[in-house]
Amino acid sequence: MDPFSYLKSTSLVPEIINYITLALTVFYGSVIVYLIRGWYLLNTSIPKNTPHTTVSVLIAARNEEKNIGLTIQDILNQKFPAHLLEVIVVDDHSTDNTAEIIRSFSNQGVRLIQLNEKEPLNSYKKKAISEAINYASGELIVATDADCRMQPMWLNSMVSMYEQEDLLFISGPVMYHNEKNLFERLQTLEFLYLIGLGAAAIGNRKASTCNGANLAYKKDVFVELGGFKGIDELASGDDELFLHKVAGRYPNRVGFCKNQDAIVYTEAKESLSSFLSQRKRWASKSTKYKNKPIVIFGVCIWLFNVFLVISVVSALFNPSVWRVVYYCLSFKLFMELVFLLPISRFAKRSTYLIFLPFLSLLHIIYLIFIGIAGNSGKYLWKGRMVR
């Protein structure tokens, strides 16, 4: 009798699968509890004084003629002292009217920089941000994207936190809006999980993730840490990987702006292919993580989802396994609901929690796929094939 047949005949295989799945479920639950703790440790940031810090808002734009004008107008409409603000937009080789639209704001102080590299790069966005910082005169760099919308108190909220708490890096909340269908609402719910994870990790003083659509950091610390040097070969990572550099040197001077006025809004992806391409790009950054606990955490979460699938397959041949599958999936859903409740209230998206049971199941397959696809091969971004 071969070893596999022996194990199958003695029912050891389903038992081993059960024990591993249960252990990983307990691990996942403990991680969620830790994240819940981190979210509640974050203080709500409330502006108390008139800002006095000079600010440079930076935007890297490529073929954004439909959005860039609205984004710039939102920034110019900020309730923030005009003499403390400069806006720099870098046109990344656009082939549409992006540059012309940016140039139309020049009489309002908006500065246009156009990249003119002849040799191909893998990270045009990092190049664009670095170029803008070279010209920036502000003490505080605030980065956002060319397809974002902001409320009038956005800058005030971010800058006030910087001044009150003596921080070097601030991650701001980013949310989806204008959802038009179920697919986009599911993306919103999944994105809330990601934003909450990043915020909660910062609350626990273990910064791990952030989003480049809403970041603020001191220009001096960017220069001190060599900017994107060492992480510039990846197309992505101008947000998370730089966050890791700052947190590695100054772990107690990274914050999350837990203020609804600080939310930056963007829109979910319209198609599955564009959604997966975006997530593959985000996942590709993990190959450069130097913080081993974060890598181990990610691998264990991936394995948790893998073993949930293995348990379901095992249950098809061993009905006794279904009880474990039911308990693990129910526990997973319950913990995710508890975690997302306060975050969805913060984002004013509590009604979307009705989709959580479906998303919780779908997310298992999605995470397994992204864990593989995001760490191998190239992907399309802004009309370019990058890695």
Structure token digits, residue 263: 């939310």
DSSP-derived 3-state class of residue 218: strand
- Write down the pTM of the prediction: 0.90
| The predicted structure's pLDDT at residue 238 | 82
Nearest to 176 by CA among 155, 203, 147, 154: 147
| Conformation bin of residue 266: beta by default, left when phi > 0, alpha when psi is -120 to 50 | beta
| The predicted structure's pLDDT at residue 20 | 94
DSSP-derived 3-state class of residue 113: strand
CA 193 – CA 347 distance, rounded (Å): 11
DSSP-derived 3-state class of residue 258: strand
| The predicted structure's pLDDT at residue 243 | 95
What angle is formed at CA 227 by the lines to CA 144 and CA 254, rounded to 5 degrees? 65
| The predicted structure's pLDDT at residue 1 | 47
Q: What are phi and psi of 143, to 5 degrees?
A: -105, 140
| The predicted structure's pLDDT at residue 384 | 58
Interacting residues of 373 by C-beta distance below 8 A, sequence separation 6+: 276, 280, 283
| The predicted structure's pLDDT at residue 287 | 65
| The predicted structure's pLDDT at residue 6 | 45
**Inter-axis angle of helices 182-203 and 322-346, to 10 degrees?**
80
Q: Which residues does the chain have with pLDDT short of 70?
A: 1-11, 119-122, 235-236, 287, 376-387
| The predicted structure's pLDDT at residue 308 | 96
CATH number corresponding to 46-172+210-268: 3.90.550.10
**Inter-axis angle of helices 12-41 and 182-203, to 10 degrees?**
70
HSE-up of 3 (CA within 13 Å, CB side)?
0
Neighbours of 41 (CB within 10 A): 12
CA 149 – CA 146 distance, rounded (Å): 9
Please give the distance of CA 273 from its chain centroid, rounded to a whole number. Answer: 19
| The predicted structure's pLDDT at residue 366 | 93
| The predicted structure's pLDDT at residue 117 | 76
DSSP-derived 3-state class of residue 59: strand
Answer yes or no: are the C-beta atoms of 57 and 86 closer than 8 Å.
yes
How many helices and strands in the chain, by DSSP H and E?
13, 12
